[in-house]
Structure 1
């Protein structure tokens, strides 16, 4: 019996879900290799504990923050004042969530750079190795990773501030704005997570942007899937190593390298 030809996935939606599938492939690789679990979980646990403490503290004071941010509503009718302050509280938490997800990744990658580098290298080995590999010292890799992550987070902050203001709008602020935030956050996460694979090839942030733009729907699908998984309680801790594995496949795809086992 003839094997039917594989039909390439085309169209934005199809490629978007191909990107989502890269995260699930990373999850499968991670789950089947207990050694990767041990490599990846420690840095994420440390960062997760720090960020969870900060977010709980923010959630405790957010009603007071919402009141401080909306002094103009003091003389409004009770229902209107309550609505605008709930919107303000959600906007604060939404901005904190967006920046938290992005900075969590940056901090975790900095803390666990040697661990995640090994995970990425292992994935590369399974899929045929790294073409044109460049030896980069750990210290240099860490400096470049921190600098690139700082630039990406700064850009995210500039984009996040208008989204924060949009969060005050009833309905739109709780529907459209979070969706835009997920797309923006997903793109930045994709750029952050492929860093290790690109550094291994002697390529920097500008090269990452150019390569991922060529496969933008796939990169967005992967990044948004990671962003959403990080919003699940303890999701960032559990999914970061799998996201590193999936990001290595994304990097290989964006550079035209095989992502099927030989």
Structure 2
């Protein structure tokens, strides 16, 4: 039997973002109590929002403690905060790479570590919002794929340590219309034609499934296509790489990446 959301005490990071807003509304409508953490808290959120820079060691523990006090405990942590942007693997790692690793991986690590005592007391759950790119990487976005694959690896290690008392799940969305893709689009590296769009509602439903399933699922795809892609990536990695390579070659041949300076190496090699 699935667990009910009514009365569940939930903390969401990145609560002002696309997924965070939609998830907050669904949880509140189901009778859950919600507190959000965000660098720029939304003033229109229907749930209490606390400002917190998740990249700062000193800010996270008191913010989580404040949220737990407001909720009266903690049953569910959703590590949703994330950023994206172009970062080719062939170029040296710069500030963009460090930013994505800091927000997508280390922020979730900090928040989870701060929340573990409260989650353990409640025999609660933690859900990590990763990305399909954690298992099916794309060129020119190495930092995002690396950070999300590392996030899944962190979840795997955490599960071995606390899994007897805390459920640990990872959700793998694909491309959803949100500001996270703006920087990539400005660099001429849009994912259109490479990743298929999916609705926000599917991602929210996957998170709620991880939160309410009788037994916390290990990995959760957000669409049937996603389940197929993840299976291919894990069990037939050469086929997955061939699929991505064929799509990228077609984009190069069509001139879709001609205006992207960061793709100059790929264009040269394609010629």
| TM above 0.5 | no
**Higher relative CO (CA 8 A, sep ≥ 6), structure 1 or 2?**
1
More strand per residue: 1 or 2? 2
TM-score by length of 1: 0.30
Quick check: which has more Rg, 1 or 2? 1
More helix per residue: 1 or 2? 1
